[in-house]
Structure 1
Amino acid sequence: MLNRRDMLLGGAAAALAGSTAGAVAQIVATATQGERAITVLSDGAFEMPQSMLARDVALDAIAQATKVSGPTTNVLNVTCFRQGDQVIVFDCGSGSNFLPGTGKLAASLEAAGISPDSVTHVLFTHLHPDHFWGALDDFDTPLFPKARWHADRREVAFWTDAKVYEKLPEDRHAFAAGAQRIVKALGETLELHDAGSEWIPGVAAFDTAGHTPGHVSFELKDAGGPVFVLGDALTHNIASFAHPEWRPASDHDADLAVATRRRLLDRAETEKAQVIGYHLEGGIGRVERSGNAYRFATGS
């Protein structure tokens, strides 16, 4: 079983750990779409060095842009969408084997009155540890015992490829080992799909690759306007919007991720979509133009 010690052996993971962020189980935000309800739940948070927000950008420039010096707090937001008799969860947190301050989804579900047994579908944006490792509980059984699990075909193929370790730096090998273990445990309950289609009725996946090879985001269509569940296509309240050209250290294909961010920001602003980012503080907001770039506006 991959444990937290294994995770921290990797240099990148050690850098991510920083000091423990003290997020508590909570409901981050709520919204309604007619008779459908959205609840954004906290899986906790961790701190990471600001240098991870942008490769090849001076720390003083990052601090000036983000208005924060020192480590940056990375919140983990899990989206729950209820329509009819379906309870749909997007990503499922990090579980107990990732980093201090994370793994709080089960407590947040309880606070929101959502029983794990009631969850019918889990849709993954990608298979990084803080999105995927929470699929199994402390007994290595599925956290949502009655759910069907859904992931992008390219994403699963990448992480389960026998040669994946040759494609990754050594400090990401634990990511692949964890993904392979969980894919195997989910077995036939894990359904594979392609981007550009509805994975379940009313929820369509669209391609936002770059952060990982098969990263997808989801669109919830409604007469009041679309809602985008973005995963890690946008990861910071300021940097991802004001500086989409920055290249975060966590992006697998930095150039593709830049192109994806630019396209996504333009689309979200043009369509006046509500957006939910896994690492965006405040959970739900909108993309607004700000000079030659954008900003994340919450509370509207």
Structure 2
Amino acid sequence: MITRRTLLSSAAAAFALPAIPRRVWASTTLDLGGLRIDTLSDGNLVLPGDFILGGMPQEEMSAIVARYGLPTDTLRPPCNVTLLRDGSHTVLFDVGAGPDFQDSAGLLPEALDSLGLAPGDVTHVLFTHAHPDHLWGLLDDFDEPLFPNAALMIGRAEFDYWMDPATLDSIGEARTSFAVGAARRLEAVADNLRLLEDGEEALAGVAALLTPGHTPGHMAYEIRAGADSVMVVGDAIGNHHVAFERPDWASGSDQDPATAAATRSALLDRLASGQTRLVGFHLPGGGIGRAERTGSGFRFVEEA
């Protein structure tokens, strides 16, 4: 099908300068029992530090963040979109920010192109949640679906929350645009959207797990291949510093901070106990690694 998007993309390609080097976006690759998992960079966010760090014990928090060589006034977390390929399916977990959120993000189409893939090659998209940096890449500049051949899945509780008109009045002024943007995009694809329950198998070997708090219906996805597994955690574990060292602390980025802290603590305990690899949307080095226990909490160990 020819759309305005494909026509403009073809025209742009015709006048592209061949001397410009291709940027490599695949951050990390993991072979899981014959499954290939890549993390693709959608760019990064630029956030005021208080959005994540506000409300925490400031002296302790500052000491933790300083150990990672990070400032506390402005944070620039990476955005890692997970790509799963098994020879038959090409599956994305979230779709990045698209063109309408922040200029530093929305680079997923370039990342796919670096692997020789086009949006039309994607067969399934599984959403962890409907915040802008995870959902807004669903539509292009012309509000056309960017992944026209993909079956789409999201948690039922997440869908119901964002489609409820009362959410707009209860979410708070700072996140009003989140609610408007999520409802518009989910409504646009509602006829092609499968709603998942906690524990449901989204695809063979891929189980959806309710991990609420960051948003009411946030889902993580456990990918299994024989005895091996990896957990796509989305924003249930939102950073590699305070979220690991003090998972019990409330974070301003979570819509229900107390529930999110309980979810985060339980999830890290599960991952560390089982030595299960994880993929975090905002974790460094492509986001693939493990949670390792420390004396009082956990630390993120990047996949070698």
Which runs of structure 2 are paired with 1:42-191 in the superposition (5 Å)? 42-67=41-66, 68-69=70-71, 70-191=73-194
The alpha carbon displacement at 1:48 in A equals 1.7
TM-score norm. by structure 1 comes to 0.89
Alignment match, 1:294: 298
The alpha carbon displacement at 1:224 in A equals 4.8
CA distance in 2, matches of 1:28, 1:59: 32
Aligned partner of residue 110 in structure 1, secondary structure: helix
Alignment match, 1:202: 205
Q: 1:172 to 1:53 in 2, by over 3 A?
A: closer
CA distance in 1, matches of 2:51, 2:62: 12
CA distance in 2, matches of 1:253, 1:187: 26
CA distance in 1, matches of 2:223, 2:200: 12
The alpha carbon displacement at 1:53 in A equals 2.5
The alpha carbon displacement at 1:58 in A equals 4.7
Alignment match, 1:41: 40
CA distance in 1, matches of 2:79, 2:275: 24
Cα contact 1:235–1:280 (8 A) shared by 2? yes
Q: 1:278 to 1:236 in 2, by over 3 A?
A: same
Provide structure 1 residue ranges, at least 5 long, that are not aligned to the other structure: 1-23
TM-score norm. by structure 2 comes to 0.88
- Give CA deviations for 1:175-230 in whole Å, capped at 9, x if unaligned: 11111111121131111111111011111001110000000100001235210000
Q: Which letter does structure 1 place at the counterpart of 2:201?
A: E
Cα contact 1:196–1:207 (8 A) shared by 2? yes
Q: Which letter does structure 2 place at the counterpart of 1:57?
A: M
Alignment match, 2:8: none
CA distance in 2, matches of 1:208, 1:62: 24
Bigger Rg, structure 1 or 2? 2
The alpha carbon displacement at 1:61 in A equals 3.2
Q: Percent identity?
A: 39
Q: 1:50 to 1:171 in 2, by over 3 A?
A: closer
Aligned residues: 277
CA distance in 2, matches of 1:59, 1:157: 36
Q: Which moved more, 1:284-293 or 1:54-63?
A: 54-63
Aligned partner of residue 250 in structure 1, secondary structure: coil
Alignment match, 2:244: 241
User: What RMSD over aligned residues (CA atoms) do the two structures have, in Å?
Assistant: 1.4
Provide structure 2 residue ranges, at least 5 long, that are not aligned to the other structure: 1-22
